[in-house]
Structure 1
Amino acid sequence: MPDRYIKKILSARVYDVAVETPLDEAKGLSERLNNRIMLKREDEQPVFSFKLRGAYNKLSQLSEEERACGVVAASAGNHAQGLAMSAKKLGVKATIVMPKTTPDVKVNNVKRLGGKVVLHGDAYDDAAAHAQKLVAEKGMTFVHPFDDPDVIAGQGTVAMEILRQESGPIEAIFVPVGGGGLVAGIATYVKYLRKDTKIIGVESEDSACLKAAMDAGKRVTLEQVGIFADGVAVATIGENTFELAQRYVDDVITVSTDEICAAIKDIYDDTRSICEPAGALGVAGMKKYVEREACSDKTLIAIDSGANVNFDRLRHIAERSELGEKREAIIAARIPEKPGSFKRFCSALGSRNITEFNYRYSDESNAIVFAGVQLKAGGGGREELVNELRSSDYEVEDLSDNEIAKIHVRYMVGGHAPANLENEVIYRFEFPERPGALMKFLSKLGSKWNISMFHYRNHGAAYGRVLVGMQIPQAERAQVEGFLEEIGYNFWEETDNKAYQLFLG
């Protein structure tokens, strides 16, 4: 099997549309991490993503009869754009089924590249099912975004370029993983020629389908998939890709949203380019690897896989990057409700700056404040901050890892629920960002229980995030989750969340 894929990679047709992207040294990261850090700049492809390689190679391998039937794919972004451009180059009609939640910028770009767009469903699975329906009804040729040998071979040309561009020893290559097409292609080629180079897949911790499969020894389907890094939001690793990953991938590292945001900033600082969340996974994983292995003076390569990010997401990314770089902590602290308390609290922070401070009077004895605190450069982390404040007799809660605090509470601090509010239960939701979704959500909820709290803030993503308080009598609690499941949106109960209890409950 390896020989078959090596031959496919060596003979892959990609350069009719794709370009050989540079392998650039990230000098700032290299200095900080005490290693030679290289970035493979797939964000510089004509469609700002490596996906163009696999899509074009697949189309170039089709027979005349298959091309004549037209091609169809399901995608929310990069594969769609790569396929549309490839089909235009080869004179093939391309239909792209995209979820209704797909941002207009991606829909319009697919149309600009000559693809016919069909909007269907709220998620990738809905779009994929409709694409298969078109295959059955119209005989169109389906082009899978990752689980196809020719697509994998096209992505494998990234490795071919890397080994040509870097002749010296390479400690490890860090590859973003969604469905696995890129990591499978790169791993197969690199391990054929340089067995001592580690191939490390990097996944978002809330869509880690490869790690789950590796741990289980078989492909598994995740119950829920996070949507921040939408380019890798895949519930099940591909069949072909998993077979290759099991053979050739040395390790899988998972990273958090905050770590991804910090990596986006790292790449920007060194290149002045803004990659998408999925595109920054390689750098985020590399940073964790360096810390874990304490390696130095090695050559480490990260794949910057794409730059298709919505402009309105940058606000959210910037906010979270400081947390991901461990340069900021979010804390709740109880301080006396009397003149001079805030000044004394600031004094207890020492040389640290306050980046955010939220407070509202609640009673005459104590105040609970929500604060962002800049951490000391080169050390002095969150644990040290919390210990220092506690030694000064402050009650402190570290909320830096609390999603409710970071997404909702920091924008809602302003008062607790009134004393006569009974039976409040808190839920966190994700719902598709499309016309009518919020109205459907409110209509469903409003017909059952009183809404006592509601917070929604757009983060420029395909899904909205909502925090809701509902008054639910104890006798009706058992039927709530069944009702919420009927709505069809992801949800989590957060009544016991510390951030809610401190500031809103």
Structure 2
Amino acid sequence: MLQDINFETQLLRLIEDDAVHIGEVALRTPTIRLPWLDAPGRTVWAKLESRQLTNSFKFRGAYNAIRKLDATAPIVTASAGNHGLAIAHVAQMLDRQSRIFVPAAASELKLRRLIGMGAEVVPAGRDLFESTQLAKAYATEIGGAFISPFSHPDVIVGQGSLAVEVLDQAVASFDQIAIPLGGGGLLAGFGTCFRRRSPPTELVALHPAAFRRSLSKGGASEFLKPIYPTIADGLAVQHDDGALGPLLLRIADRFVNVEEALIEAAIVAMLQREGQLVEGAGAIGVAALLADPDAERFKGNVLLLVCGGNLSTTSLMQALATRSDDPVLARILGNQSISLPMEAVRYKQAGLAGPSSRSNPGTASTRSDIWRPLVETLSEDLTRYEDDLDRHHAFAAAQELQGGGPAAAFASEALSGLKTFVSGMTDDITASAEDVRSSYRMALQSFSYLRNSLSWCSASVDQSKTIMFFDPAENSHAGVNYDRYGSNLLRERELDLLSALGHDPETEDLLLTSSGQAAFSVIESFLIRDMLPANPKIVMAPYIYFEAMEQVLALKHARCIQGDAWDVPSLIGIVEEHDADLVMLDPLANLGTLHTIDFQDMADRLGGKDWSSKWLVVDGTMVSGGLDIFSIFSGKNHPQVLYYESGSKYLQFGLDLQMAGVVVSRKTHAPNLSRHRRNLGAVMYQSGITRFPRYDRATFLARMSRLTENAERLTAMLRESDPGGDLFSIAYPRQWRALGWAHGGGIVSLTMCDHGLNNRGCLDFLIDRILHECRKADVAITKGVSFGFSTTRVSAAAAMANDMPPFLRFSIGEETDDDIMALAQAIIRALDFFFPAFADEGRRAEVSRPYEDGAH
């Protein structure tokens, strides 16, 4: 018996030796992730012994014990459940006879299964305790071998093989392991192995609270107390002696009692979330974590031993009837509306890798460096779409579906021509800049048309005869197949952009929206409805993007305070003065002065203040992908951050194919933000996603580096033309490196020193002259709103905002050094013509409202 095993050292040796033999027969069960049980500071795995032979870990101990017996020894045991099934199965497998004593109240289903395996079933005793006493007496009487479900040495050693397998799989270094505790055979064997081979791992023994045992305080005698009814009946064991108790107390670091309602909820959760039928004893680890949603008791890398899957229909129905007033638990149980996968899980799609890195960020790049990766990525997407078409054809044929043949054939033929066109682009990437851009733009539009021509906004999830879907994965979809709810394609592109913008996919998440203003509306809806108090106080910088400002000022229930200074101490001061709930700041203001805010300085100055209950909303459009705002504000005292930007500017590489926007948040807020996006109808639909260029961060920064260098060069040449700064002021965020940005962007602004010239009429006259000079010099430039284009664009900015003074804004493109030189010279010639034309007061346009730096 146990006294024959010289404590844990000898026990470990036996476990490791016997594990070799057990591994030749037992199944190697999977270890899976349970991300829905994760919490900040906790990551959860489950070892599914519920998928072992006989649906339980008990097979290991039963096989180890029987294989060591003398071939003539009668096999006797007492069990109403998994141990009996395991003994019967192994005896049958080894052509042996077994006699199993069962209590009078044993399940008829289990009795039938035992008999079906060839066991001789002996009903005896009112409960398992009495059945065990009678079985022991019978084994002694006939000279047979009684195999205890938990205290037999070879059973304990056999259960220890599970620990060897977990260590061999090495999916993670576990900080805690939750071990179901009934009789203790699993804890004794598994725990002994882990205690010796992984000393830092905390072993937590889980026990039904229904037994009313206090194992942490009462000592080994608690195992001798009688048991009470529980849905975790596999753990309902009463020891008949105190031999095993001291070993169990020594192995476990702590004992946790788990309530019945949570065990029932855990059974449902495993079925609902993982499609795994798990009995109460196997689900008790999940139950313990459901009781600890904030990771106060279970932390780090946590492994749950799901020890069994033999669940009766009655127990399953009992569990499914569970209700909870806790909204989080209720959603897990399916008692409340379940979030759709695209909204709630926000998963990383395995196997859908983003575009590979092909260029080095941080240095100005050639046209080839910028556009070759985009063309190559598009070529990869075409190949993938060809595979998708083949899969669509094969699935339709297998299901005997009709109706899509001619359309699919046309798509295949058109795809072949498009692949040839894109292949030619790859071969001639050094062609003129305009040819490369226009060809890529056309190819991307064509791909989008083909990709969406066979897609449906509300694809069918099953069908007979006809086709109303493109991707076979849409069939048997558990959620609602509305495009408004999201799609696999959307999630893939969101993950691409999250990395391209420089955010951490482990801690942040990104949502694509139909426009930059839609992105702001999602944030506004989320904050107003879910996060802010009834009458929030909102502090804004002296200027934020005018459409967002209009939305905020229209909030009747909110008190809005606009700052009058840009320096960080003043901004912090006004927030503190009004105890603001929400702070809205842009790192680079879309004004003629291009004011900047030093967020790192702000984060440092908040060292002694607690802003953890406040929200900071940042519009990063002007510094797209250049600012890691979440790393800057990562302290416990820092405000909670939401980031957004227009996806119609830099993110589209100047292709201007559609409107777009992005919202970036900590992962914990992404599901709710996604819900608001869905309810607002602000999602980017599949037809738009496929028109959005796909690239990695290196390619994005290569382009932004080119724009930055061009903007800095143009700024320097224009300054040199007016060295005293008497005629105009040139603005560019030259301090972008000191601010910690990845680039300075491509915006250069020009404001007249004579404020009367800063009106729409004067500026349009100057723009017309610039266009005239550029035509004469054969220099490319366009006039129009927005920015981020590949060719420099000029506009009288702020024309759409009623209360902003106009200024001349240049959105610098990807031109070569020579092109920028020629452009600067053309602009200087236009300025030389402009100022003399307005020197006479009588010819000057009516003076507009005076413009002062920082006044708006």
TM class by shorter-chain length? 0.5 to 0.7
Spell out, residue by residue over 1:415-468, the C-alpha distance to the aligned partner (whole angstroms, 9 max, x if none): xxxxxxxxxxxxxxxxxxxxxxxxxxxxxxxxxxxxxxxxxxxxxxxxxxxxxx
| Structure 1 match to 2:155 | 151
Q: How many residues align?
A: 327
Mapping 1:228-267, distance limit 5 Å: 228-236=231-239, 239-267=242-270
Mapping 1:113-152, distance limit 5 Å: 113-152=117-156
The alignment partner of 1:11 has SS state of helix
**1:299 shift after superposition:** 1.2
| Structure 2 match to 1:311 | 313
Matched, 1:23 2:31: yes
Q: Based on CA coordinates, which of the two structures has the bigger radius of gyration?
A: 2
Q: Scaled by the length of structure 2, what TM-score is found?
A: 0.36
Over 3 Å counting, the alpha-carbon distance change for 1:294 and 1:94 in structure 2 is closer
| Structure 1 match to 2:97 | 93
**1:29 shift after superposition:** 2.5
The partner residue of 1:299 within 298, 301, 313 is 301
Cα separation, 1, equivalents of 2:304 and 2:240:
21
**1:240 shift after superposition:** 4.8
Cα separation, 1, equivalents of 2:220 and 2:259:
24
**1:133 shift after superposition:** 2.8
Contact 1:259 1:321 survives alignment (8 Å): no
Over 3 Å counting, the alpha-carbon distance change for 1:131 and 1:245 in structure 2 is same
Matched, 1:80 2:87: no
Spell out, residue by residue over 1:464-484, the C-alpha distance to the aligned partner (whole angstroms, 9 max, x if none): xxxxxxxxxxxxxxxxxxxxx
Indicate the structure with greater strand content. 1
* Two-structure CA RMSD over aligned residues (Å): 2.8
Taking every aligned residue pair, what percent have the same amino acid on both sides?
A: 27
* Structure with the larger RCO, 1 or 2 (CA within 8 Å, 6+ apart): 1
Cα separation, 1, equivalents of 2:241 and 2:325:
33
Cα separation, 2, equivalents of 1:196 and 1:34:
17
Contact 1:262 1:325 survives alignment (8 Å): no
Mapping 1:189-204, distance limit 5 Å: 189-204=193-208
| Structure 2 match to 1:322 | 324
The alignment partner of 2:96 has SS state of coil
The alignment partner of 1:206 has SS state of helix
| Structure 2 match to 1:55 | 62
Cα separation, 1, equivalents of 2:231 and 2:297:
29
Contact 2:15 2:161 survives alignment (8 Å): yes
The partner residue of 2:285 within 282, 287, 292 is 282
Unaligned runs of 5+ in 2: 1-6, 337-529, 532-856
Spell out, residue by residue over 1:275-304, the C-alpha distance to the aligned partner (whole angstroms, 9 max, x if none): 1111111221234456462666x2110011
Contact 1:262 1:324 survives alignment (8 Å): no
Aligned residue identity for 1:193: R
Unaligned runs of 5+ in 1: 329-351, 354-377, 380-505
The partner residue of 1:71 within 68, 75, 78 is 75
Aligned residue identity for 1:133: A
Over 3 Å counting, the alpha-carbon distance change for 1:93 and 1:177 in structure 2 is same
Cα separation, 1, equivalents of 2:197 and 2:141:
44
Over 3 Å counting, the alpha-carbon distance change for 1:292 and 1:28 in structure 2 is closer
Contact 1:207 1:232 survives alignment (8 Å): no
Cα separation, 1, equivalents of 2:293 and 2:301:
11
Cα separation, 2, equivalents of 1:325 and 1:237:
43
Over 3 Å counting, the alpha-carbon distance change for 1:138 and 1:236 in structure 2 is closer
Cα separation, 1, equivalents of 2:9 and 2:316:
43
Over 3 Å counting, the alpha-carbon distance change for 1:325 and 1:304 in structure 2 is farther
Cα separation, 2, equivalents of 1:199 and 1:325:
30
Contact 2:178 2:206 survives alignment (8 Å): yes
**1:186 shift after superposition:** 1.4
Aligned residue identity for 1:273: Q
Over 3 Å counting, the alpha-carbon distance change for 1:291 and 1:236 in structure 2 is farther
| Structure 2 match to 1:386 | none
Cα separation, 1, equivalents of 2:274 and 2:51:
12
The partner residue of 1:174 within 160, 178, 197 is 178
The partner residue of 2:108 within 100, 104, 111 is 104
| Structure 2 match to 1:39 | 46
Stretch moving more, 116-125 or 248-257: 116-125
Contact 2:227 2:237 survives alignment (8 Å): no
| Structure 2 match to 1:222 | 225
Contact 2:163 2:194 survives alignment (8 Å): yes
The alignment partner of 1:14 has SS state of helix
Cα separation, 2, equivalents of 1:143 and 1:11:
20
Over 3 Å counting, the alpha-carbon distance change for 1:301 and 1:275 in structure 2 is same
Contact 1:199 1:248 survives alignment (8 Å): yes
Over 3 Å counting, the alpha-carbon distance change for 1:286 and 1:237 in structure 2 is farther
Over 3 Å counting, the alpha-carbon distance change for 1:282 and 1:106 in structure 2 is same
Contact 1:17 1:86 survives alignment (8 Å): no
Over 3 Å counting, the alpha-carbon distance change for 1:60 and 1:140 in structure 2 is same
Aligned residue identity for 2:219: G
Aligned residue identity for 1:310: S
The alignment partner of 2:255 has SS state of strand
Contact 1:174 1:201 survives alignment (8 Å): yes
Q: Scaled by the length of structure 1, what TM-score is found?
A: 0.60
Matched, 1:2 2:33: no
The alignment partner of 1:293 has SS state of coil
The alignment partner of 2:54 has SS state of coil
Over 3 Å counting, the alpha-carbon distance change for 1:295 and 1:327 in structure 2 is closer
Over 3 Å counting, the alpha-carbon distance change for 1:238 and 1:130 in structure 2 is closer
Contact 1:33 1:290 survives alignment (8 Å): no
Over 3 Å counting, the alpha-carbon distance change for 1:7 and 1:88 in structure 2 is same
| Structure 2 match to 1:465 | none
**1:137 shift after superposition:** 2.7
